[in-house]
Structures are given as structure tokens and as C-alpha cells.
């Protein structure tokens, strides 16, 4: 089973808010997930990215692959 760390879109139209989740790669974007590890709000200035670093590192050590966007956010916060 391929596991990804990705964003789940929440919020209203034109006001996105995301949850950082660990999910099976075959699950739909806003569908079933394994665990929620953080949030991302791009509408704030500066963008608010809050993630549980320990859980993120644990999932990556267990083989979870972050998506391109989540990878950039994790690098910016110093987790990767």
C-alpha cells in the first residue's frame, strides 16, 4: 500500500483551508485518510502551516511519500 502525506481541501469557495493528512495513494483527495497531522491556511499573511513534526518524521521513516506541495512546506519549516 502506497502512503502519501498530502493536503485535504476544506473551507468555502475561494477561501481554501487545508488539513495535512496521511492517506492511501488510491483514496480520493478529500476522501478517507489514515491520520491528520497538521493544517495549512494560505489565506493568512504570512501563510499558516502547523504540523506535528514528530508524526511527520515518523510517517516518512515508515515510507510515506510527501506530495510536491507538502514536501516544499516541510522543507520550509525545517522538518525535511
For residue range 41-67, list pLDDT tens digits in order: 999 888 899 999 999 999 999 999 999
**Whether residue 1 has pLDDT greater than 80:** no
Contact 64, 22 (CB under 8 A): yes
- CB under 8 Å to 19, separation ≥6 — which residues? 7, 8, 10, 36, 38, 39, 40
Average pLDDT over residues 25-32: 87
pTM tops 0.75, yes or no: yes
Q: Which domains does the chain have, with CATH numbers?
A: 3-77 (3.30.1320.10)
Contact 51, 64 (CB under 8 A): no
Amino acid at each position: 500500500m502506497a502512503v502519501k502525506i498530502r493536503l485535504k481541501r476544506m473551507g468555502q469557495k475561494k477561501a481554501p483551508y487545508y488539513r495535512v493528512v496521511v492517506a492511501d495513494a488510491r483514496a480520493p483527495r478529500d476522501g478517507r485518510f489514515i491520520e491528520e497531522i497538521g493544517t495549512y491556511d494560505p489565506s493568512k499573511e504570512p501563510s499558516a502551516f502547523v504540523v506535528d513534526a514528530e508524526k511527520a518524521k515518523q510517517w516518512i521513516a515508515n515510507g510515506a511519500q510527501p506530495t510536491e506541495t507538502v514536501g516544499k512546506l516541510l522543507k520550509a519549516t525545517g522538518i525535511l
